[in-house]
Amino acid sequence: MQNAIRLIAFTAAALAALGPEPAFAAGPYPDQPVRLIVPYPAGGAVDGAARILAERLSAIWSQAVIVENRPGASGRIGLALAAKSPPSHTLVAATNSTLNEQLTRGQDGAAPAAADLVPVSTLFTTPVALLVNRQAVPAESLAQYVELARAKPGAVSFGSSGEGTSTHFFGELLKREKDIDITHIPFAGEGPNLSGLIGGHVGSAFLSASGATKAAQTGKTRVLAVTTPRGSALLPGVPSFDQLGIAGLDRDTWVGLYAPRGTPQPVVDRITTDVATVLATSDVRERYAQLGLVAEGGTSRDLAARMEDDRQYWARVVQQTGITLR
């Protein structure tokens, strides 16, 4: 309950940051290179999306936008770096999982609060899918997967992108809803999780549509279900957990763009507008779709509202699963 209260203050601070700002000196923005921190390993969905965005913003701004991977601690290291950076010329792309870590890790162990970061825009959403390694877990459907897990409690493992991430919680929700014992194997990001599944180091894994698409191309995996309630055009023909009668696994993951606190509102507005321009172009949307992502955009207030809605959803999940991480 105390962590939930802190998260309410977290979101309130984000909304407060969107209020009136001191006047911003007129002039071109940016007037120097911009750093875009990706607090996850190279090769993942966030990294790919950030590099496409950086390429297009560089062209619009006539300034270099430099993507800097700072992985570690499920994204907390990169977010902490962004929060301590000078305002206006640093951005960070963060998943909802990282931003919600206060729900499970407490104030001291979690990522920087919204008081340290200003919402800018939503970059993309993506469904999460459950896949199996065909050889390790020869399930043709989710029903068969559940049967195998029940027949050998603890023998079926599932990989996630790290403790406390949405991919971890989806596994815990599945265990709870179907009363099965599957073993959680956390990895340091989606790239390692994907490699673990393809290599057979885990029997199953929860991956973004991007990771699921890459896994399917190897021929070694099978997609069983997706979290988007009515299915997803990114993974055609794959049923949703909701359609299969499993409640609770009905939330896509998303990534937001943030700036350090103190970034003037006119700068935030300029970045928001230019990001929306980039994400609205047909070729960028197609490139995102090829990565298994749905380009979004939207205002800083839209992102703040998304954060609050997401916090409430995952607060319920934390309460249901009883997971606390330290």
CATH 3.40.190.10 fits domain 128-244: yes
- In the chain, the percentage of residues whose pLDDT exceeds 70 is 86
Residue ranges of the domains in the chain? 34-126+253-321, 128-244
Q: Six-digit token pair at 249?
A: 């696994």
What HEC string does 290-304 produce?
Answer: HCCCEEEECCHHHHH
Instruction: Examine the pLDDT at 106 and tell me if it is beyond 60.
Output: no
Among the ranges given (132-136, 238-242, 275-279, 314-318), the one the predictor scored with the smallest mean pLDDT:
314-318
Residues sharing a CB contact under 8 Å with residue 250, sequence separation 6 or more, in sequence order: 227, 228, 229, 240, 241, 242
Residues sharing a CB contact under 8 Å with residue 66, sequence separation 6 or more, in sequence order: 33, 34, 35, 36, 54
Please compute the mean of the pLDDT values over residues 118-138 and round it to a whole number: 95
173 strand-pairing partners? none
Residue 75 pLDDT: 81
Single pTM value for the model: 0.77
Among the ranges given (89-93, 101-105, 200-204, 296-300), the one the predictor scored with the smallest mean pLDDT:
101-105
Residue 166 pLDDT: 83
CATH 2.40.50.140 fits domain 34-126+253-321: no
Instruction: Examine the pLDDT at 180 and tell me if it is beyond 80.
Output: yes
Domains 34-126+253-321 and 128-244 fall in the same CATH topology: yes
Residue 17 pLDDT: 46
